[in-house]
């Protein structure tokens, strides 16, 4: 559904007593003043964004610099609405010209684009990638001829098929831009929003659908936790939350005014063997709002210098980075990690955990650790955990919980909220485990 809503909603589940993650929003230079409508990253260093006037941007360094890869097969008069990254060099982008919709694909980093789909009187609202098979993408568009426009590709966008994906249109219902969500860890589950007081849900990546009623007429954005813990948010005029995968939705209190229009979650946070992702949202304004307690309360965390936010997304996989795009070409970027800085790119030959410094400390100290390359044939990244425990063995901070490439890293631990005494920190990666002791003196 065509809309000029300038909306965005992000959110973060973070247990404040256990996780010390912080983040700062930084403005990036996009090189365009066109309205940007969507952003997507399957690989943290490779990010894609799209917008009006056929604009496509690509970054290979987390958005520090953006390359304009517009044209080369994409008409300058197409209004691009959504984009997905499939592989480091492959992306698919959808938009419309007048009453017709078009989809374009590149397999060479945007050097060339090929039209791979068109539909008369159609409008593609959203696309999602199946994390279980990255070459499989589901595309959802407004109904045409009395049925929802649902298409799937199994070869990274080269061909699209709607066989067996019939979903009847009820009344004049339609969808909304980028209002579709899938579980990153359980990619076959998909939800999308409508203008008809319902959210459609599929457990088999679009082959069949169930309507879930909601109290909001319009569900401009939908986000379900990639942890498969049943948590999710949807936004129209009000914000609704589910704890059972969208079966029931209840209103929650929020800040700001205006509609909601984009949803994403933060990184995995392990707390008592449970996974909780951080939460953010943005409305029809220039602010990004944050919650650290599963949406119970919110703060206005960041105000853009100019422009109105249109959409936000986290990088697929570890979800440790966020990008939010605005109607003037503005891009805001945040890293959802507690001061994890790579201090050396020299390749270590083994895992190691250094003694914190300073030690004793008050109130902050730095913990350094080294990661060798992951085992060949498994991954180029190694999953690393760095936790802090008190003298009784109770976990008090989860500093690192993600896949890391080879290198040496430094993490800051802030003991402001803790009493003087002895604490332990443990680095775990595969079969490796090492613990060291540190002392907080106030």
> What pLDDT, in 10s, does the model give residues 361-420?
998 888 999 988 765 444 456 788 999 999 998 888 888 877 777 888 888 888 877 899
DSSP string, 74-116: S-TT-EEEEEEEEETTEEEEEEEETTEEEEEEESSTTS--EEE
> What pLDDT, in 10s, does the model give residues 318-354?
567 889 999 999 999 987 654 566 666 577 888 999 9
Cis peptide leading into 358, omega within 30 of 0?
A: yes
Mean pLDDT of 273-286: 70
The reported pLDDT for the residue numbered 318 is 58
Strands 364-371 and 407-414: antiparallel
Identify which has the larger pLDDT, 339 or 112.
112
Q: What are phi and psi of 38, to 5 degrees?
A: -155, 150
d(CA 67, CA 59): 6
The reported pLDDT for the residue numbered 433 is 93
**Longest alpha-carbon distance in the chain:** 71
The reported pLDDT for the residue numbered 376 is 46
The reported pLDDT for the residue numbered 23 is 64
Q: Are 181 and 189 in contact (CB under 8 A)?
A: no
> What pLDDT, in 10s, does the model give residues 174-188?
999 999 998 755 568
d(CA 308, CA 274): 35
Highest mean pLDDT among 188-202, 378-392, 417-431: 188-202
The reported pLDDT for the residue numbered 44 is 55
What the chain holds in terms of domains, given with CATH numbers, is 25-335 (2.130.10.10), 341-440 (2.60.40.1930)
State the Cα angle at 40 between 38 and 44, rounded to 5°. Answer: 150
Q: Is the pLDDT of residue 8 over 90?
A: no
Q: Residue 184: enclosing H or E segment and its boundaries?
A: none
Q: Is 252 helix (H, G, I), strand (E, B) or coil?
A: strand
First to last CA, the chain: 58
Q: Is 113 buried (19+), middle (13-18) or exposed (0-12) by CB count in 10 A?
A: buried
The reported pLDDT for the residue numbered 377 is 40
Q: What is the model's pTM?
A: 0.74
The reported pLDDT for the residue numbered 297 is 87
Q: What token pair was written down for 6?
A: 């300038």
Mean pLDDT of 311-320: 77
d(CA 427, CA 382): 12
Cα–Cα separations (whole angstroms), residue 12 to 157, 223, 249, 295 = 31, 11, 18, 8
d(CA 126, CA 116): 16
pLDDT over 70 percentage in the chain: 85
> What pLDDT, in 10s, does the model give residues 145-182?
999 999 999 999 999 999 999 999 999 999 999 999 98
């Amino acid at each position: 559904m065509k809309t000029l809503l300038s909306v965005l909603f992000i959110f973060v589940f973070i247990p404040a007593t256990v996780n010390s993650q912080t983040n700062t929003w930084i403005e990036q230079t996009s090189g365009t003043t066109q309205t940007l409508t969507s952003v997507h990253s399957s690989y943290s260093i490779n990010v894609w964004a799209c917008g009006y006037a056929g604009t496509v941007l690509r970054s290979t360094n987390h958005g520090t610099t953006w390359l304009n890869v517009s044209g080369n097969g994409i008409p300058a008069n197409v209004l691009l609405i959504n984009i997905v990254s499939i592989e480091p060099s492959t992306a698919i982008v959808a938009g419309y010209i007048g009453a017709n919709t078009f989809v374009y694909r590149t397999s060479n980093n945007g050097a060339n684009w090929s039209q791979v789909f068109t539909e008369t009187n159609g409008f593609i609202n959203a696309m999602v990638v199946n994390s279980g098979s990255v070459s499989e993408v589901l595309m959802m568009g407004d109904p045409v001829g009395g049925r929802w426009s649902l298409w799937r590709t199994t070869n990274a966008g080269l061909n699209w098929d709607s066989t067996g994906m019939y979903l009847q249109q009820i009344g004049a219902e339609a969808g909304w831009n980028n209002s579709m969500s899938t579980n990153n860890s359980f990619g076959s589950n998909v939800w999308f929003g409508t203008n008809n007081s319902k959210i459609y849900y599929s457990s088999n990546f679009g082959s069949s659908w169930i309507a879930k009623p909601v109290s909001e007429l319009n569900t401009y954005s939908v986000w379900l936790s990639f942890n498969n813990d049943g948590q999710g948010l949807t936004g129209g005029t009000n914000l609704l939350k589910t704890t059972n995968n969208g079966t029931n939705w209840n209103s929650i209190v929020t800040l700001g005014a205006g509609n909601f229009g984009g949803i994403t979650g933060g990184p995995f946070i392990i707390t008592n063997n449970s996974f909780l992702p951080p939460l953010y949202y943005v409305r029809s304004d220039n602010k990004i709002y944050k919650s650290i307690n599963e949406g119970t309360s919110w703060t206005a965390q960041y105000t853009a210098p100019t422009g109105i936010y249109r959409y936000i997304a986290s990088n697929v996989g570890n979800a440790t980075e966020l990008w939010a795009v605005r109607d003037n070409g503005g891009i805001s970027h945040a890293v959802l990690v507690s001061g994890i800085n790579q201090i050396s790119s020299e390749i270590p030959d083994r895992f190691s955990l250094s003694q914190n410094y300073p030690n004793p400390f008050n109130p902050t100290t730095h913990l350094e650790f080294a990661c060798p390359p992951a085992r060949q044939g498994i991954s180029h990244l190694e999953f690393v955990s760095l936790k802090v425990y008190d003298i009784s063995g109770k976990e008090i901070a989860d500093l690192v919980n993600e896949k890391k490439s080879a290198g040496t890293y430094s993490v800051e631990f802030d003991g402001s909220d803790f009493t003087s005494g002895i604490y332990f920190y443990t680095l775990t990666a595969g079969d490796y485990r090492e613990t060291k002791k540190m002392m907080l003196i106030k």
